Chains A and B, each alone.
Chain A
Amino acid sequence: MAIASAAQTRLRRKSEQRLSPWLYLAPALITLVLWIYWPLVDAVRLSFYQWNMLPTSPQTFVGWENYTRIFALPKFWQALRNTGIYIVGLLPLAVLIPLAIAIYTHDLPEHSRNIYRAIIFVPMIIAPVVAAAVWRWLLDPGYGLANQMIKGMGLDPVKFLSDPNVAIWTVIVITGWKLMGFSTLILSAANANINPSLIEAARMDGSSKWQIIRDIRLPLLSSTVLFLVVMTILLGAQWSFTYINVLTGGGPLGATTNIYYLLWDFGFSTMSVGWGSASAVILFLGFGAIAFVLFRLIDRYSFHDN
């Protein structure tokens, strides 16, 4: 009797165990499927149709036409090139300069470091729209502080946001402004984590300051640096979306449009769902391939001291 009931409980337990994880997972999984996975599939489907988003108008199947027309579009290639410029332009601001600062300031006293830390983190928590508004005001061609100073020096005002050659760099610097302090903090933390006895030992051996940086600090920081580089490549152009949207609208003449902004433009300004979805699919595949390669690289090259 006792044995039977024990077996029964065990059986009940087992079927309960089989079901339980799914019950706990359900709310999260349903949300992710509904708002991310199903939309991905739907984007693929819509990329083969022509449709203007009005429920009353018909969806016409057009096959690969959306794709071939996008690839034939100069605007697409311009946006792709700009995406590359964003990434290359952001790397010094989001990785290189923070790395130099983190290494250079590693021996500042704890107390003042905490103060600097508190200040340079501020841009990270400021809303992108607020950042865009403030920079728009600072860089206004007529009355902005920057141009008032430039004019004060007797130079011609710079059209930071409406000169096609300058605008993209302006957006890059603003995006970099948001990230620089944060990257510096991450790299400083990694730098402070390096076992000081390694540095001490090298110093005893008569290594110069530069040798210590080159042979100890940089290799030990490489995984953090690689992580930041990967983030910049994967997300860099995406971070600038708000600034492009608020500050330049992708212009002048498409000079600041990157691939993310082009998606938005196709989907919601031109109301062409097919084009928008097709470029979303292209972006997703490209993005996925790059992410895959980069994460493999991280796995292979990350380097730990313990």
Chain B
Amino acid sequence: MTTDAIATPVFSKPVALRRISDRSGLNSAAGHLLMVLLSIFCLFPVYWMLVSSFRPANTMFETSLWPTQPSLDNYTRAIDAIPIARMLINTLVFSAVSTVLQLLTGILAAFAFARWKFPGDRLIYTGVALTWLVPFQVVMIPNYLLVAHMGLLDSVLALILPNIAAALAIMLLAQAMRGFPREVIEAARMDGANNWRILWEVLVPNLRGTIASLAILIFISTWNEYFWPLLLSRTAENSVIQIGIQMFMTAEGNQWGPLMAASTLASLPVLVIYVVLQRQVVQSFMKSGIR
């Protein structure tokens, strides 16, 4: 849908035509200043989380930019308080399985839209696209009741179920497949390949860029999901790390040190992916909009 509007290369290379004008010196200094301020605003809270997580309890409230007596104290306290390893594994299973399933159902459905004209195809496509606009809060009560009815409350499986398919994956993949050169598909058909083989041996390998960027996007957003796990969670053992973090913030008071340690641990996998695949992560988020 309208997400096309932003499917443009990030900061695409300025064309050679552009000249650096003479008076740009002062302007660009101001531009740098602006960007540095924005960068500090964006990064400082994350930095403060890291620094605070290494401050032992007795120096928790100091304001130095670097922990004066760095220690792993908060991490051991956090691990003692909640089953962090178990929760991280749950989160990993939840995100990885959701990613694989969403890609799988997305690839299949997108192929149906791209390959055939069939009665009602436009209607169904619109129906798929519209689900993107249904706020989760609107369907949460029936979803919750459905899970309860299945007897799956408080399980990682129930977390995955509504994530088996998503409009975004279907739409982005359908778009990519429609753009795929018809001649190549026809050539494969001449060679006697059936639809199934065309999909998996011609289309999918050639669309691996799109698929990979979609995978990054789905994985990160599932990893960060909070609302659905919040509805279903009963015990820490069967929950995800985002719920674990919340356990350190209670009405009675906050355990700042372990809270920052748990937050760091929860962010680490995503931050590592980001550091390694920075360009691809930014691209995949920009291609597919905000949700």
A232-267 toward B: CB 8 Å interface, digit per residue (1/0)?
001100100110011000000000000010011001
The reply on A40 being an interface residue by CB < 8 A is yes
The contact size tier of chain A is 35 or more
B31 near A108 with CB under 8 A, answer: yes
Q: Measured between alpha carbons, how far is A224 from B148 in the docked complex, in Å? A: 42
The reply on B58 being an interface residue by CB < 8 A is no
- Would A180 and B38 be within 8 Å (CB), given that A105-B31, A241-B227, A280-B137 are in contact? yes
A20 near B195 with CB under 8 A, answer: yes
Neighbouring A residues of B39 by C-beta, 8 Å: 116, 119-120
The reply on B69 being an interface residue by CB < 8 A is no
Closest to A223 in B: B5
Neighbouring A residues of B220 by C-beta, 8 Å: 125
The B interface, classified by DSSP as helix, strand, loop or mixed, is helix
A104 near B109 with CB under 8 A, answer: no
Neighbouring B residues of A302 by C-beta, 8 Å: 5
A280 near B138 with CB under 8 A, answer: yes
Closest to A282 in B: B138
A120 near B38 with CB under 8 A, answer: yes
The reply on B85 being an interface residue by CB < 8 A is no
The A interface, classified by DSSP as helix, strand, loop or mixed, is helix
B49 near A134 with CB under 8 A, answer: yes
Q: Measured between alpha carbons, how far is A180 from B133 in the docked complex, in Å? A: 22
B133 near A127 with CB under 8 A, answer: no
B116 near A20 with CB under 8 A, answer: yes
User: Which residue from B108, B128, B285 sits with its C-beta under 8 Å from A124?
Assistant: B285
B249 near A136 with CB under 8 A, answer: yes
Q: Measured between alpha carbons, how far is A199 from B106 in the docked complex, in Å? A: 41
Neighbouring A residues of B137 by C-beta, 8 Å: 238, 241, 260, 263-264, 280, 283
A137 near B38 with CB under 8 A, answer: no
A55 to chain B, nearest CB (A): 8
Q: Measured between alpha carbons, how far is A31 from B98 in the docked complex, in Å? A: 12
Which one, B180-188, B207-215, B266-274, is touching chain A? Answer: B266-274
- Would A39 and B11 be within 8 Å (CB), given that A127-B266, A190-B6 are in contact? no
A39 near B164 with CB under 8 A, answer: no
Neighbouring A residues of B263 by C-beta, 8 Å: 129-130, 133-134
- Would A227 and B5 be within 8 Å (CB), given that A133-B249, A177-B45, A182-B285 are in contact? yes
B91 to chain A, nearest CB (A): 10
B227 near A116 with CB under 8 A, answer: no
- Would A126 and B46 be within 8 Å (CB), given that A137-B254, A280-B141 are in contact? yes
User: Which residue from B60, B148, B230 sits with its C-beta under 8 Å from A245?
Assistant: B230
Closest to B216 in A: A125
Kindly list 9 other residue pairs between chains A and B, CB separation below 8 angstroms, not including A110-B11, A131-B45: A18-B118, A21-B121, A28-B170, A55-B148, A117-B282, A127-B267, A129-B226, A143-B256, A283-B138
Q: Which 4 A-B pairs have the closest CB atoms?
A: A39-B142, A39-B139, A31-B165, A24-B112
